[in-house]
Structure 1
Amino acid sequence: MIIIFFLLLTHIPLTIYYDQIPSTISGKLVCTNTNYFFGQYNTYFNYLTLVNVIPYLITFSFGSMSYRNVQQLAYRAVPLVRRELDKQLTIVVLVQIVYDFVILIPNLIVYVIILQGNIQDLVIKAQINLIYTITLCFYYLYFSSPFYIYICVSERFRRQFIYVLFKMHFNRWRQLRIHPNQPLGQT
């Protein structure tokens, strides 16, 4: 509830400072920012801090805590099955953290380069925009990555996925195989 309230408060200026104005090129209405200070706030606080830096810090801190927790499991009296599942979960979390930093940090770096805005050469500017578009595609792939990470890393998740996909759903939708009756004398 606190997070929702905080996000509502931080995004109230979006409703105030975005406005529809006619485009100078096409004459059509476009939704754009009308205040310079709000543009700075939106760029540096909303996008850089709320969308990029804070989620990375949270992911890294919880990943390091879970890794430390699994390291201490050897010293506690925990059933072997639970210990193995905890290790598997920790591996999944660590792979997710590495994936996050490899995939998402380039997008953040290119965005910061674009923010500097002092690139005058049009060819270099076009190349940076192309790189930003590619890193943005990877950014959107990030949201489907946990499924593939779980499939690759966790044997238990893989078995459960195969069971649900093939045993339950595939067999349910497979057509019934009914063979016609043949008289005993014919083959």
Structure 2
Amino acid sequence: MSNSSIILSYQFIGEKITIYCGLFILITGVCGGILNILVFTTLKTFRNTSCVFYLITASIVDTAQLLTSLLVRILSVGFLIDPTTISWFCKTRMFFAQFSILVALGCMSLATIDQFISINRRQLCSLQSAHRYIFIACIMAIIHAIFFSIYHDTRSNVCTIINPNFAKYYTYVYIPVVIGILPIITMITFASLAFISIRTIASCNIHIERLGRDRQLTAMTLIYVVFIIISNVPTIIFNIYLTTSVTTDKILLARNYLIVSIVVVFYYVQYAIPFYVFCCVSKRFRNQVIYVLIDVHFKRFQQAANKLNNNQVTPGIEMNTLTNEST
């Protein structure tokens, strides 16, 4: 096989992975995010829980990340529609993408911390505190994302960093530390502590409903944290590799393109998978999903449809009655 055929094969496979795997992740992720929000906001047992508020916020920004980043990548790679070639769209996309990444990681870090504290010192956790922490996290994420918007622009039809110093910060600080080591260590530490605490708390005199909910949330957040780490580590490692290796070999560049396609698609799995992780981990959550979809919203839909049909039938009956009386 010639070099050109190898290069074309790498490019072809990379494009197909981005299109088909990307579309699958996008569709399932958006549906899963909506279902997460629906379940968490419908059930009273969740609505007043600070940990769940972090999960709701994470679901919102996860869905936004899929729609603002993954969808644009699918359009540009698979359908040759790249709106980031326009300067303002490049800057806007980078702003929302970085905002979503930071808030999502911040929410999951706060959720693990909150779950550990709520098990041991429940009085220190409240919904009002969660609102305050999320507000602070959003402000910090906005400030950070503004710099991404400022230092990104379109050059030769490519949305890229235009400031060399910011490029160094992105490579050596942002990727390995800000969205790498710092949130990973935080999530691992507090998720593990929460898991250890919940295993010993069963022997204490605690309300059975609270114990069941704490076990459920701890298991859900712990397993989801594992998936976040698995999704992030390959991206961090390969980003460092790309920035430290310089090559002009076309075959190697094409191979890197294929690896990038795989790594990027795998990276977006973390934004699409939470609902399905929660369903696999917790039987209670699966039952709650069925209850919310069928016993709550489907019945409401049926009642609304029946009411609408009754409203449509009644005028017809009254009109026939008036006609008969007139004749």
Q: TM-score range by the shorter chain?
A: 0.7 to 0.9
For residues 169 and 7 of structure 1, the distance between their equivalents in structure 2, rounded to whole angstroms, comes to 35
> Alpha carbons of 1:5 and 1:158: their partners in 2 closer, same or farther (altered >3 Å)?
closer
- For 1:105, the aligned partner's letter is V
For residues 13 and 147 of structure 1, the distance between their equivalents in structure 2, rounded to whole angstroms, comes to 32
Q: CA deviation at 1:88?
A: 2.6
Describe the SS at the equivalent of 1:110: helix
- What pairs up with 1:1-187 in 2 under 5 angstroms? 2-4=136-138, 6-7=140-141, 10=144, 13-14=147-148, 17-18=151-152, 23=156, 32-174=160-302
TM-score by length of 2: 0.45
Q: CA deviation at 1:162?
A: 0.8
Counting matched residue pairs gives 172
For residues 2 and 86 of structure 1, the distance between their equivalents in structure 2, rounded to whole angstroms, comes to 25
Unaligned runs of 5+ in 1: 179-187
- For 1:124, the aligned partner's letter is L
Could you give the per-residue CA deviations for residues 33-54 of structure 1, whole angstroms, max 9, x where no partner exists? 3332221112222233222222
Maintained 8 Å contact 1:110/1:128: no
Describe the SS at the equivalent of 2:223: helix
- For 1:158, the aligned partner's letter is R
> Alpha carbons of 1:34 and 1:87: their partners in 2 closer, same or farther (altered >3 Å)?
closer
For residues 235 and 242 of structure 2, the distance between their equivalents in structure 1, rounded to whole angstroms, comes to 11
**Identical counterparts, % of pairs:** 30
For residues 247 and 301 of structure 2, the distance between their equivalents in structure 1, rounded to whole angstroms, comes to 57
> Alpha carbons of 1:125 and 1:87: their partners in 2 closer, same or farther (altered >3 Å)?
same
1:185 aligns with none
Could you give the per-residue CA deviations for residues 61-119 of structure 1, whole angstroms, max 9, x where no partner exists? 22112112213314422234433332232222221122122222122222221121234
Maintained 8 Å contact 2:188/2:225: yes
For residues 286 and 201 of structure 2, the distance between their equivalents in structure 1, rounded to whole angstroms, comes to 24
For residues 151 and 225 of structure 2, the distance between their equivalents in structure 1, rounded to whole angstroms, comes to 36
Q: CA deviation at 1:155?
A: 2.0
Q: Which has the larger radius of gyration?
A: 1
Could you give the per-residue CA deviations for residues 109-167 of structure 1, whole angstroms, max 9, x where no partner exists? 22221121234533233222222222211222211222111111122221121111122
Higher helix share: 2
- For 1:169, the aligned partner's letter is H
> Alpha carbons of 1:173 and 1:19: their partners in 2 closer, same or farther (altered >3 Å)?
closer
The answer to which of 120-129 and 133-142 deviates more is 120-129
